[in-house]
Structure formats: structure tokens, C-alpha cells
């Protein structure tokens, strides 16, 4: 069964032409970055937890609050996520 994601998640691409199987890494990352809980549930049902875990562990970017949610969902420590390691390597602006 094909998932029905909210189109606002994919605001910058033509969703009707998006091949969700060929672009699974992009879709999974985008759903975890911008989707709500129901979108994440549909994503897990469609792709399976093993695929989700692999993609999330190697994702280059997730917002900080989504990193923690993703880590809990895949049952890993947030420090194991590549996006967490990338954030440590590129700190934000110095707060004045």
C-alpha cells in the first residue's frame, strides 16, 4: 500500500512525479525532517524499520529536535547519528 504523505513535506519537488521507491533515502529523510507523527508512521509501515534505521543513521541533516525524535524511533543514541556528528563539526554562530 502506497503511503499518503502530506504534500507540504515535499513543497519543493513535483510530488506526483516523485518515485518514492527509487528516492527512498530522500523521502525518509524529508518525512523525518518535516513530517508529523502520522507521516512517520506511514513511512515506517511502507519502508520497514531496517531501511528507516539505515537512512536515519546516515542522514546528513536533521533539525535538532527531530534528531532526538529519530534517535528514539530507531532505538539508537543521538550521538550515533551522522547528522549529530555533522552538527558538532559545524557549530552555529557565536552568541553575542
H helices of the chain, in order, are 24-34, 37-47, 49-58, 64-74, 82-89
Give the chain's end-to-end CA distance (angstroms, integer).
51
Q: What pLDDT is recorded for position 15?
A: 86
pLDDT, tens digit, for every residue of 17-43? 999 999 999 999 999 999 999 999 999
Q: What pLDDT is recorded for position 57?
A: 96
pTM: 0.88
Calculated CA dihedral for residues 93, 62, 74, 89, nearest 10 degrees = -40
Amino acid at each position: 500500500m502506497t503511503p499518503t504523505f502530506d504534500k507540504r513535506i515535499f513543497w519543493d519537488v513535483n510530488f506526483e512525479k516523485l518515485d518514492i521507491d527509487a528516492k527512498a533515502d530522500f523521502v525518509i529523510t524529508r518525512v523525518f525532517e518535516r513530517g508529523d507523527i502520522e507521516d512517520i508512521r506511514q513511512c515506517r509501515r511502507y519502508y520497514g524499520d531496517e531501511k528507516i534505521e539505515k537512512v536515519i543513521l546516515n542522514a546528513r541533516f536533521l533539525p535538532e529536535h527531530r534528531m532526538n525524535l529519530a534517535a528514539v524511533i530507531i532505538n539508537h543514541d543521538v550521538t550515533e547519528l551522522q547528522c549529530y556528528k555533522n552538527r558538532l563539526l559545524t557549530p552555529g554562530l557565536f552568541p553575542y
